[in-house]
Structure 1
Amino acid sequence: MEHLLQHLRQGCKELVNPSLEPAKKAPISDDLLRHTEVDVRFTVASVITEIIRITAPDVPYREEQMKDYFLLVDTAFKDLPSISGRANSKVVLVLQTISHCQICILTLDYELHDMVHETFHLFLNGIRPDHSESVS
């Protein structure tokens, strides 16, 4: 699902919106958002990020679900300095999509000021010279 969503253009949401309903419900479940496997959580973050991108400017989830998503992404960003390989690629792609689509603005709408503050410190302290240019 992750790979398929990454190839959908943002402007085609009207065509795919009914098809997205099952895809929207699955990753936002507590079982997946709080899964014990890091790779599963990174994949869930990636899938939800792509759904948000496709449905923008509409928000596909309720406020509490979006807050759970941002907590998940924040956790993934905390792991960025120590992960490598495929997991690192997923987190970097999530970061790029959040940046490109300005999804982070929603954190201000939901008044997640502490998370915004923490994320800035995380990036300022966690970015290493060996990170790709898209991260730094």
Structure 2
Amino acid sequence: HVLNKSAFFLVKQTEKLLSKVEQSPSKTMQAALSPVMIALIADKLLKHLDIDIKVGIAACISEITRITAPDCPYDDEKMKVVFQLIVSSFENLSDVSSRSYPKRATILETVAKVRSCLMLLDLECDQMIIEMFNYFLKTIRPHHDEVIFSSMETIMTLIFDESEDVSPDLLKPILITLKRDNEEVIPVSKNLAETVIKNSNPKLRPYLAQAIKSLGSSAKDYSEAVAAVLGENPSVTERSNENSLKD
């Protein structure tokens, strides 16, 4: 426990120092950062059992990606491990009272600001992106600061806009959130999903239609925002359906 406490303090100090390092650092600074970068990806840290320490490590690595952006600080395989840690830090964003919440929020903001989320596309980490989308849509809360919503919105919009093509699986978290009969979804989650698809319209239109089809649904099963992206007017569609039934 004492060890964890001192490790937590060290990680906290490291993150604090890294946050003061500017992007594109000098050769001297790069040399000074090198041992820190290596130390941060040691297995015993990446696989640490203490959640707060893991989030702290994710925050440090997130700062490293900011400093080295647009270049990746590690090789592809290490980046996948690193991003798994970063993405997993979004899991409990709904708990604003937890000790690690400020760090989780900072990681989210950094990923949005530096657009490091786009590295996930380069690394073809589709499952990780889906996991991240699920976390966002499940953890966003009305009491969150506006920057939490806008960071999630930015990340999701960037992913859609920069994807060469958008798989139905990638749209599934959005569609599940916007399903009319999904009573578990809170309004702010719906708002996030709707904002993102509006942002990425018209690019999403063909992919959205395809995803709905693959789920065996139709546009009328979803919120009006979906119909709007598809270029359909749900009320008109419903009226014409009613008329055809009368005929």
Report the TM-score when normalising by structure 1: 0.93
The 2-side partners of 1:13 and 1:121 are apart by 38
Question: Which of residues 17, 21, 25 is equivalent to 2:38?
Answer: 25
Of residues 57, 63, 78 in structure 2, which corresponds to 1:44?
57
Alpha-carbon distance between aligned partners in 1 of 2:27 and 2:69, rounded to the nearest angstrom: 11
CA contact (8 A) 2:21 2:67 kept: yes
Instruction: Quote how far apart the aligned CAs of 1:118 are.
Output: 2.0
| Paired residue total | 136
Which has the higher relative contact order, 1 or 2, with Cα contacts under 8 A spaced 6 or more apart?
1
Per-residue CA distance 1:29-82 (angstroms, 9 max, x = gap): 111111110110011001111111111122111111111111111211112223
Long gaps (5+) in structure 1: none
Partner secondary structure for residue 147 of structure 2: coil
Q: Deviations over 1:106-136 (max 9, x none)?
A: 0001101111122112211210111111111
Give the Cα–Cα distance (whole angstroms) in 1 for the partners of residues 27 and 113 of structure 2: 21
Larger Rg: 2
Listed one character per residue, the Cα deviations across residues 7-26 of structure 1 (whole Å, up to 9, x for unaligned) are: 11113243411111111011
List 4+ stretches of structure 1 deviating above 6 A.
none
- Bigger shift: 4-13 or 77-86? 77-86
Q: Does 1:133 align with 2:146?
A: yes
CA distance in 1, matches of 2:127, 2:26: 32
Secondary structure of 2:91's aligned partner: helix
Select which of 64, 74, 85 maps to 2:87: 74
Cα distance change of structure 1 residues 13 and 87 upon mapping to structure 2, 3 Å threshold: farther
Report if aligned partners of 1:96, 1:134 keep a CA contact under 8 Å in 2: yes
Tell me the TM-score normalized by structure 2.
0.53
